[in-house]
Amino acid sequence: MAARPRVRLFCFPHAGGGASAFHSWQTALPALVQVCPIQLPGRETRFSEPPYTELDSLVDAIAEELRPWLDIPYAIFGHSMGALLAFEWARRLQHEGRSMPGWLILSGRRAPDIEDDAGPLHALPNHAFVEELNSRYQGMPREFLQSPELMEVFLPILRADIAVVESYQFKEGEPLNCPMIVSAGIGDVSTTYDQLLAWTRHTRAEFIAQLFPGGHFFPQDPLLRSISANLTKLISERG
């Protein structure tokens, strides 16, 4: 990363994830981009803090904490739960009349106005919760599934994050005045291509939809190449 970045990329993780999910991104993206992983309460370096269980209050905290960091051009990325957080933060920024992201990059999430027809998860008993979560998103590490100790540590974080997602209620509003890139894995059973394309209703600007090989947690290399190309373009446009 350059000493004086030209663009910041704020990155929001999936449910149960932390800032470490983006550890390799700084070296994979252009040197003029500063990768800013968002560490949510309840995990990794913020493990001692209680996690949020409701989306609106979490977005309130995000908006307050990140306000001083919008002094240069920026983009926002979010995967799955992180996509909802990224989208609602961008809506908040527009409502407040603040500078908008040069790109809003969302992955692994259907459009926000399409309701989930699957039943709620966060209050299920442990075994049923883990089994259903793994069935829907197919991303639970084997070492997690086979370790009661890891389960005891991470289940409360996962439950809280799923509660955040399940507390979400879409409210009609003006489409965003920023370009949007949406992505999903071809084999992602939680997000169909039509549900991905439905994001186009939520921006007035350029819209790009991408499918990559893989499932909900598809390999990151093609996504990072896409992000790199579009952030390079943003740097060029912003001089």
Kindly list the catalytic residues.
Answer: 80
What's the rounded Cα separation, in Å, for the pair 234 and 104? 12
- Half-sphere exposure at residue 77, Cβ-oriented, CA atoms within 13 angstroms: 27
Element (H, E) at 185: strand 180-185
- CB atoms near residue 201 (< 10 Å): 11
DSSP state of 218: -
Distances in whole angstroms, Cα of residue 120 to Cα of each of 139, 174, 188: 18, 28, 19
